[in-house]
Amino acid sequence: MEKHPHVIRLCALICVTFSSLLHLVEAQDQKGFFSLACGLSPNEPPYNDPKTGLTYSADDDFVQTGKTGKIQKEFEPFIREPYWKLRYFPDGIRNCYTFNVTQDTNYLVRALFVYGNYDSLNSYPSFDLYLGPNLWETIDMTGWTNGTYQEIIHKTTSQSLQVCLVKTGTSNPMISSLELRPLNNNTYNTESGSLRYLFRNYFSTASQTVRYPNDVNDRLWFPFFDEKEWTGLTTDLKVDTSNYYNPPQVVMASASTPISAFAPWNFTWSLSPSTTQFYIYMHFAEIKTLQANETREFNVLVNGITTNERFSPTKLAIQTIYFSKPQECEEGICLVELLRTSNSTLPPLMNAFEIYTVIEFPQLETNQDDVLAIKSIQNTYGLSKISWQGDPCVPKEFLWNGLNCNNSETSVPPIVTSLNLSSSQLTGTIAPAIQNLIHLHELDLSNNNLTGEVPEFLAEIKSLLVINLSGNNLNGAVPQALLQKKGLKLIIHDGNPDLTCEGKPCVNKTDGSKKKNVVVPVVVSAVVVVVVVLGIALAFFFVFKRKKTSNSQGPSSYNTQASDPIPTGSSESIMTKNRRFTYQEVVTMTNNFERVLGKGGFGMVYHGIVNGTEQVAVKMLSHSSSQGYKEFKAEVELLLRVHHKNLVGLVGYCDEGENLALIYEYMANRDLKEHMSGKRGESILNWETRLKIVVESAQGLEYLHNGCKPPMVHRDVKTTNILLNEHFQAKLADFGLSRSFPIEGETHVSTVVAGTPGYLDPEYYRTNWLNEKSDVYSFGIVLLEIITNQPVINQSREKSHIAEWVGLMLTKGDIKTIVDPKLYGDYDSGSVWRAVELAMSCLNPSSARRPTMSQVVIELNECLAYEHSRGGTSQNMNPQNSVEVSMNFDIGSTPDAR
């Protein structure tokens, strides 16, 4: 049954899975935790907090700048000892902590600030707090005598995370503690943005704030109780808290209910601004032993909308109700109500809940390859520029000194386009990491003390327009490739006396008064003149040739007019030249359409022979086709300009009146779906072959997205459009729905939705906005098909859509029901798990959070490497492997089982 769009999904995991048990052990060992006591001297031992058992270490390995301070003695009795010391930042505008983290992982990040009059100025500071390149919060400590903290749940987008303090006035930014806690990736997932902490309460008359070790994730739970309206319940019995959210036992062992048995349970809060979006997670457990004649049943309403009817908490076991989509409150006034039903003899109860507001972080981090290259250059030369902290390119006002970047496209990570390290006291050779700045336009290393040869890799940076190496002590021959690079301005005068250019000194050493420029710019200019002259001559040649061709028999390129002359037969190989065939030639090559290979939306596909020996597949447009001439033309135009080993090649076409045909290279082993089903009467494909096929298919898609100019979106990726040749090499086919994108810098095109049900991207379906991530979603479905060998849609399953079903099985920890049983366990379990994880990431409801096809290709090759590494021996599934998997099962239409 279709549910209301505001419905909150319900989940109860009754048993503790092996993975959650192991997660508990790891968390208690503080694995993955960062606990920094800012300002603690590296010479001091780490601080072990006797109350929590947490170990706080010095912060000097995580930050390059700042000075240490300590709160005044009079404040110490009111502040816990880990926060007595602090780090403050009198120099520079932006100062940053950097953490090495696991990419695409949810982290709880908590920053704590205690002023304590450390500077004896008795003036509370105010400054901005950034997470990466985005503003997290403005910290104004006025009135916070005992300190304040900020907490956020954020999914990392790279392998580093930066927390930055930015000076906004005259006061110095300061910080007392920084804490990072990795979370289970099946929890706290959002459609977009991160989650800023608003409330985390358990409903009890106790006064204890609960955190680690009671909470394995070190979340802070604060008690709250309305004595006028509520009465409390507690239990000494153990409550099973083992769902993915895993709140502490002590939190779930208490609850509140209305004093009046027939009164509702209410909780109200306000949001500012009123359009603020939020997520709520409500945790329930029945902690009273009910008598045979007692029933507790109630409706759950949020902002007046019933989200769960006739809900009864499970006895001594957690159930979590939460929203899968962000919510808003009318005029910013929010209300949760629990209303007793007519069947209930007991009032409703609530144990605990968490509320977070959504904070959007629109600014993407700088291209990670560029970041790694810049940091490698920084390490090579020991650069200690105070501005070289945080993200190199963004925000613009904090751009690293000596860099220029291109961040004009909001949907594309910024890239480094200029590096100026002139007069930076550099020594040694030219850093090899420079070659990894592949978008670089200008490079200035002048006026340093660089030695060694000019590396040839500089010529391989295709975008470079200016290189300034003057004023160094470089030697040897300047590489010929660099001297001949078109459009490059190479400056190597004033210094470098031992450099030679084409066997001659680059600098006139005989002139003691003034050194001369090299002749390289002149050589380049001469080359440019020759190219321009040659280009003009070629242009005249082609214009003249085109005029002659227009009067000849037969077009030289594709033309959609049916009245165009027909080219005569050619003895040249058809596999290297696209041809236009007559309809009679099509009839002949198919032997009057004798052998049918298959049928699609376009029409029938027939076997054919060209030139007596070469097999082809001939797709004829049916007069009743649901596609038609537009798709025919689109496919021809695309295949005439794209060429890749993993795309089916176009041999030719027929466009004669109503007779339209596409002639492809012949794929002897038909499509992937047939082989997965076993309909051909052959053995089922083994795991290694399946991986090889999806790797090759992914390479074809990756070429469409990145190798074509403009990029192409396939729009109909599915197993029937993945064809296999006689060597089982996979090639993508059927490009009738393909579209070019972007146009003039756009990140998507708005288009009528097209594709195949089950494979269709829900975001594209909802918005009509098409981008390359729509193909990624469809490919994720294909990947699930090869793993499970299940149909995409199966109404007899517990969940009809394959993604919903896989998500449900995984929340139960049931991997064996997912993998195709016909593989008989003959696969590397790590390889399968990585493939499952990849497939689920491709199905993220937010296209921005899906991987690119380039990332998909890399991951699949690693899956294949896992499979190769086992040396052909079978390995059974091991439940331990589930610990490493970080999946998001919320794919929009699926139940949010937790």
Question: What was the pLDDT predicted at 889?
Answer: 31
The DSSP-derived string for 731-752 is: EE---TT-EE--STT-S-EE--
Q: Quote the CA–CA distance of 368 and 374 in Å, as a whole number.
A: 10
CATH number for domain 197-359, candidates 2.60.120, 3.40.50, 3.30.1490, 1.10.1740: 2.60.120
State the alpha helices, DSSP H only, in 45-176: none
| 57-115 pLDDT tens trace | 999 999 999 999 999 999 998 888 889 999 999 999 999 999 999 999 999 999 999 99
For 28-47, b where at least 16 C-beta lie within 10 A, e where not — what string? eebeebbbbbbbbeeeeeeb
> In Å, what is the CA distance from 770 to each residue of 194, 579, 752, 803?
24, 32, 9, 21
51 within 8 A of 4, measured Cβ to Cβ: no
CATH number for domain 397-526, candidates 3.80.10.10, 3.40.630.10, 3.40.640.10, 2.10.240.10: 3.80.10.10
Q: Quote the CA–CA distance of 183 and 190 in Å, as a whole number.
A: 14
Collect contacts of 595-598 with beta carbons under 8 A, ≥24 apart. Answer: 597/670, 598/670, 598/671
Lowest mean pLDDT among 297-306, 623-632, 839-848: 623-632
Backbone angles phi, psi at 866, to 5 degrees: -55, -45
**HSE-up of 3 (CA within 13 Å, CB side)?**
18
**Active-site residues: which are they?**
716
For residue 548, give the amino acid letter.
Answer: K
| 598-655 pLDDT tens trace | 876 667 889 999 988 889 999 888 765 545 666 677 677 677 767 788 988 888 888 8
Residues 6+ apart with CB under 8 A from 412: 364, 747
Neighbours of 231 (CB within 10 A): 16
Lowest mean pLDDT among 285-289, 353-357, 867-871: 867-871
* Residue 619 known to bind ligand: yes
Mean pLDDT across 253-264: 94
Residues 6+ apart with CB under 8 A from 342: none
Neighbours of 793 (CB within 10 A): 12
Mean pLDDT across 660-675: 87
For residue 489, give the amino acid letter.
Answer: K
89 within 8 A of 159, measured Cβ to Cβ: no
Query: Is residue 524's pLDDT more than 70?
Result: no
DSSP run (H or E) holding 10: strand 9-11
This prediction's pTM: 0.58
Domain 578-665 CATH class label: alpha beta
DSSP run (H or E) holding 537: helix 520-550
SS3 442: strand
Q: Quote the CA–CA distance of 62 and 58 in Å, as a whole number.
A: 9
> In Å, what is the CA distance from 616 to each residue of 356, 574, 635, 660?
59, 10, 17, 16
Question: What was the pLDDT predicted at 95?
Answer: 97
Q: Where are the beta strands (DSSP E) in 726-808?
A: 730-732, 739-740, 749-750, 769-770
CATH 3.30.200.20 domain span(s) along the chain = 578-665
- Fold assignment, 672-884: Transferase(Phosphotransferase); domain 1 (1.10.510)
Lowest mean pLDDT among 213-217, 832-836, 888-892: 888-892
Nearest in space to 852 (alpha carbons), one of 706, 645, 692, 742: 706
Query: Is residue 377's pLDDT more than 80?
Result: yes
3-state secondary structure 553-574: CCCCCCCCCCCCCCCCCCCCCH
Residue 528 — pLDDT band, cuts 50, 70, 90?
A: very low
> In Å, what is the CA distance from 642 to each residue of 544, 609, 618?
28, 24, 19
β pairing state of 47-48 and 489-491: unpaired
* CATH 2.60.120.430, applies to 32-183: yes
Residue 741 — pLDDT band, cuts 50, 70, 90?
A: low
β pairing state of 650-656 and 659-665: antiparallel
CATH 1.10.510.10 domain span(s) along the chain = 672-884
The DSSP-derived string for 307-343 is: EEEEE-PPBTB-EEEE-SS-B--GGGEEEEEEEE-TT
Q: Omega into 395 within 30° of 0, i.e. cis?
A: yes
701 within 8 A of 711, measured Cβ to Cβ: no
Residues of the chain above pLDDT 90, percent: 57
CATH 2.60.120.430 domain span(s) along the chain = 32-183
Lowest mean pLDDT among 14-18, 196-200, 495-499, 813-817: 14-18
Residue 293 — pLDDT band, cuts 50, 70, 90?
A: very high
Residues 6+ apart with CB under 8 A from 420: 402, 403, 404, 442, 444
Nearest in space to 175 (alpha carbons), one of 161, 186, 165: 165
What is the Cα 823 distance to its own chain's centre?
31
DSSP state of 2: P
Q: Quote the CA–CA distance of 377 and 381 in Å, as a whole number.
A: 6
DSSP run (H or E) holding 695: helix 687-702
DSSP state of 160: E
| Mean pLDDT score of the chain | 82
Mean pLDDT across 216-236: 95
Q: Quote the CA–CA distance of 815 and 12 in Å, as a whole number.
A: 19
Mean pLDDT across 781-794: 93
Q: Quote the CA–CA distance of 746 and 648 in Å, as a whole number.
A: 28
Lowest mean pLDDT among 30-44, 303-317, 356-370, 665-679: 665-679
590 within 8 A of 608, measured Cβ to Cβ: yes
Mean pLDDT across 274-295: 96
What is the Cα 62 distance to its own chain's centre?
25
Query: Is residue 552's pLDDT more than 50?
Result: no
* Phi-psi region at 779: left, alpha or beta (left = phi > 0; alpha = psi -120 to 50): alpha
Question: What was the pLDDT predicted at 823?
Answer: 87
